[in-house]
Chains A and B, each alone.
Chain A
């Protein structure tokens, strides 16, 4: 069944990829119409209908939010239409699918194998039960065949007719050592059979009846109780997978902001826009538009990951309970809301790609610190005081607070306090960034330094 699901997902991804490539080819053909040729690229009804639903969605935002909504609507349309976004989303989905499916395939390859077991001597019901139980324990499908003699068993082992032989009910015979890569015998089955035969021999030596032996076999462990509830284990309380996605998305979406603001400045279109809208409206619309696209992409990826993980029986997301997942999505929004202003202000000081690269590195440092710290603590399960402090600082809280939630090391009011601090930090950052943006985005030429801007901003 899981192979069917995997195939279905693979077909869906490939179909999407083919559709995208076809559409790209069609559009490229249209764009190649030379400028001097009249009548070549007149808008067709089909072209209108392709963008129709996308435009309807963005028009709802535009009608509700005025100029900010219009700017956001344009961002949404252009982002979704953009090649980078589509390829990026596809790559992300493929990467998520690979991360979920490949481990299950690998696990499957070590799973049920056919093992033929030759038995020299009498095949008692007890012995047969032991062989079958060993097969189940080793996830092997076991077939038991009687052997007329030890010599016949050796011949069958050499020819590969049987994978292992049980001789006289008290020893196991193999053609090659089970550890050898060319050995047909499953080492796990060999080990389990040998162990069970030993136990069976001990039962007989101890004089246990088959019923008594059955009772001993089915014995259950006694319950172990503790006075204090144990902390959740790191593997069930937190999700490394979620942290990686959070890091990737936060970095990607904020880079969109950085590049988007820089491109508006470098193309000088910002001068036309600011002749009719206020800087804060333009910036707010951009941040909102990219934020909605980001949230949509995040929801798509998480939804896809959950469905796929359930379908193929992956345990990759088992560590992520609904609470931790909701928490990580909330902190993705809060993290984006905080960092988008920082990146927007930085983008307004640059107007070339190389300047953007210079800016991106220092801006990503707090994100990287939070991410690495969160990864370390999520695997150790022991947050120290500094980590707990980081969970309340807006730049690092998006990574650290979900880990504390996963480890049950935070109360609701502490969580709420961290959210409030983050919102307050975001408001402060937005005011500061808008000030920088307003002054920097219309200054062209050399990159404007923050020091210059702060000097100008002083009364």
Chain B
């Protein structure tokens, strides 16, 4: 699989509320793209727009350069924010049914269902009703519903919410494997550490507008040098707050993270730190995704 999913100039308003404001970005095939933003930023609306579930005032969604229609969407997989399954239907039959709606034959749907049940370790629940499953297993079934037809594009709205670390690892591995096999993977999450671990690329939006977009490496190395400094007995980082061209980004358990402007000499910072006490750590660090997020939304 190759190609890309492009969102071009999406605009959607609900009365006076602007949910999407000329939003454009791209999800390349073979990559996991993290879709971030504060609550109400427009992530879910943008994802629903990909599937035609919300009407756009303007803009378009394109797959491999062509406008996305019903035929293309059958090759996409979707996991909505509010989970949706038939509670009283058997797990296996439900997945087969959704697979068939996505164009699989009955035999293909049955085989794919068995494969995914085994892979997500819930083969023993094939003949159970969805409503009898635990939250984590329902989440797995919902993911299977998006994966059963081997989609070319996978759009997942908060797939990791409410999962324990084992569940997060299992679903995270599936997302990476899908991308490695050439699928476009776009997923939203508020768990920034997981996003950093899983994604090659990140897109951050706010008030329906694109704020930042780039690879995790690009974002980690952009936005000024980062220093992490520890001084014995210092828990506030007050010593650094008066330094010119230096911003205290984060203070976490005595570790003070500083952002240095290009004109600042790090030796001057070290001397200032030594005046504050005994320096136990002085190291250059990568920019964390949480810092990218916070700084982008300032």
Q: Do A and B come from one complex?
A: yes
Quick check: which of A17-25, A39-47, A193-201, A392-400 contacts chain B, the rest being far away?
A: A39-47
Q: Bound state CA distance, A38 and B126, in angstroms? A: 11
Other-chain contact of A42, B54, B80, B123 (Cβ < 8 Å): B123
User: Shortest Cβ distance from B102 into chain A, in angstroms?
Assistant: 5
A60-90 residues with Cβ-Cβ distance < 8 A to B are 62, 67, 70-71, 74, 77-78
Q: Bound state CA distance, A49 and B87, in angstroms? A: 23
A47 close to B127 (CB less than 8 A):
yes
B84 close to A268 (CB less than 8 A):
yes
7 closest residue pairs by CB, A with B: A268-B84, A269-B84, A275-B51, A275-B78, A268-B82, A272-B84, A43-B127
A70 close to B100 (CB less than 8 A):
yes
B124 close to A273 (CB less than 8 A):
no
Query: A30 at the A/B interface (Cβ < 8 Å)?
Result: yes
Q: Known contacts A42-B124, A70-B97; is A276 also within 8 Å of B102 by CB?
A: yes
Query: A274 at the A/B interface (Cβ < 8 Å)?
Result: yes
The residues of A that contact B273 with a CB separation of less than 8 Å are none
Q: Known contacts A267-B86, A267-B87, A269-B84; is A275 also within 8 Å of B76 by CB?
A: yes
* Beyond known contacts A41-B126, A42-B127, A271-B78: 10 more, CB 8 A cutoff: A37-B124, A39-B124, A70-B100, A74-B97, A267-B87, A270-B84, A274-B51, A275-B52, A276-B73, A277-B101
Q: Bound state CA distance, A89 and B54, in angstroms? A: 40
Q: Bound state CA distance, A268 and B128, in angstroms? A: 20
Provide the B247-290 mask, 1 if CB < 8 A to any CB of A, else 0: 00000000000000000000000000000000000000000000
Number of A-B contacts (CB under 8 A): 92
A268 close to B80 (CB less than 8 A):
yes
Query: B137 at the A/B interface (Cβ < 8 Å)?
Result: yes
Query: B243 at the A/B interface (Cβ < 8 Å)?
Result: no
Query: A91 at the A/B interface (Cβ < 8 Å)?
Result: no
Q: Bound state CA distance, A39 and B123, in angstroms? A: 8
Q: Known contacts A35-B133, A43-B92, A74-B97; is A271 also within 8 Å of B124 by CB?
A: no
User: Shortest Cβ distance from B125 into chain A, in angstroms?
Assistant: 7
A267 close to B85 (CB less than 8 A):
yes
Query: A7 at the A/B interface (Cβ < 8 Å)?
Result: no
User: Shortest Cβ distance from A338 into chain B, in angstroms?
Assistant: 27
B101 close to A276 (CB less than 8 A):
yes
Q: Bound state CA distance, A444 and B87, in angstroms? A: 18
A78 close to B102 (CB less than 8 A):
no
Nearest chain-B residue to A51 (Cβ)?
A: B93
The residues of A that contact B84 with a CB separation of less than 8 Å are 267-273
Query: A59 at the A/B interface (Cβ < 8 Å)?
Result: yes
The residues of A that contact B112 with a CB separation of less than 8 Å are none
Residue picked from A36, A67, A78, A276, most chain B C-beta under 10 Å? A276
User: Shortest Cβ distance from B174 into chain A, in angstroms?
Assistant: 18
The residues of B that contact A78 with a CB separation of less than 8 Å are 86, 88-89
Query: B191 at the A/B interface (Cβ < 8 Å)?
Result: no
Nearest chain-A residue to B133 (Cβ)?
A: A35
Number of interface residues of A (CB under 8 A): 36
Number of interface residues of B (CB under 8 A): 39
A273 close to B101 (CB less than 8 A):
yes
A271 close to B80 (CB less than 8 A):
yes
Q: Bound state CA distance, A229 and B82, in angstroms? A: 68
Query: A128 at the A/B interface (Cβ < 8 Å)?
Result: no
The residues of A that contact B73 with a CB separation of less than 8 Å are 275-276
Query: A31 at the A/B interface (Cβ < 8 Å)?
Result: yes
A40 close to B78 (CB less than 8 A):
no
Query: A278 at the A/B interface (Cβ < 8 Å)?
Result: yes
Provide the B66-81 mask, 1 if CB < 8 A to any CB of A, else 0: 0000100110101010
Q: Bound state CA distance, A77 and B100, in angstroms? A: 15
The residues of B that contact A37 with a CB separation of less than 8 Å are 124
Q: Can you list 16 residue pairs at the A/B interface with Cβ under 8 Å? A: A31-B129, A35-B128, A39-B124, A41-B126, A41-B128, A43-B92, A62-B100, A67-B101, A268-B83, A269-B86, A273-B98, A275-B52, A275-B53, A276-B70, A276-B76, A442-B53
A35 close to B100 (CB less than 8 A):
no
Interface residues of A (CB under 8 A from B): 30-31, 33, 35-43, 47, 59, 62, 67, 70-71, 74, 77-78, 264, 267-278, 442, 444
User: Shortest Cβ distance from A264 into chain B, in angstroms?
Assistant: 8
The residues of B that contact A264 with a CB separation of less than 8 Å are 86
User: Shortest Cβ distance from B290 into chain A, in angstroms?
Assistant: 30
The residues of B that contact A271 with a CB separation of less than 8 Å are 48, 53, 78, 80, 82, 84
A38 close to B51 (CB less than 8 A):
no
The residues of B that contact A71 with a CB separation of less than 8 Å are 101
Q: Bound state CA distance, A110 and B43, in angstroms? A: 78
Q: Bound state CA distance, A269 and B130, in angstroms? A: 12
The residues of B that contact A444 with a CB separation of less than 8 Å are 82
B85 close to A269 (CB less than 8 A):
yes
A31 close to B124 (CB less than 8 A):
no
Query: B145 at the A/B interface (Cβ < 8 Å)?
Result: yes
A41 close to B124 (CB less than 8 A):
yes
Nearest chain-A residue to B155 (Cβ)?
A: A275
Nearest chain-B residue to A71 (Cβ)?
A: B101
User: Shortest Cβ distance from A313 into chain B, in angstroms?
Assistant: 43
A272 close to B126 (CB less than 8 A):
no
Nearest chain-B residue to A278 (Cβ)?
A: B70
Nearest chain-A residue to B129 (Cβ)?
A: A31
User: Shortest Cβ distance from B13 into chain A, in angstroms?
Assistant: 13
Q: Bound state CA distance, A62 and B80, in angstroms? A: 26
User: Shortest Cβ distance from A266 into chain B, in angstroms?
Assistant: 10
User: Shortest Cβ distance from B114 into chain A, in angstroms?
Assistant: 10
User: Shortest Cβ distance from A210 into chain B, in angstroms?
Assistant: 80
Q: Bound state CA distance, A36 and B124, in angstroms? A: 10
Q: Bound state CA distance, A33 and B90, in angstroms? A: 14
Q: Bound state CA distance, A268 and B87, in angstroms? A: 10
Q: Bound state CA distance, A299 and B127, in angstroms? A: 32
B129 close to A38 (CB less than 8 A):
no
Q: Bound state CA distance, A62 and B109, in angstroms? A: 14
Q: Bound state CA distance, A273 and B93, in angstroms? A: 15
Provide the B112-146 mask, 1 if CB < 8 A to any CB of A, else 0: 00000000000111111100111001000000010
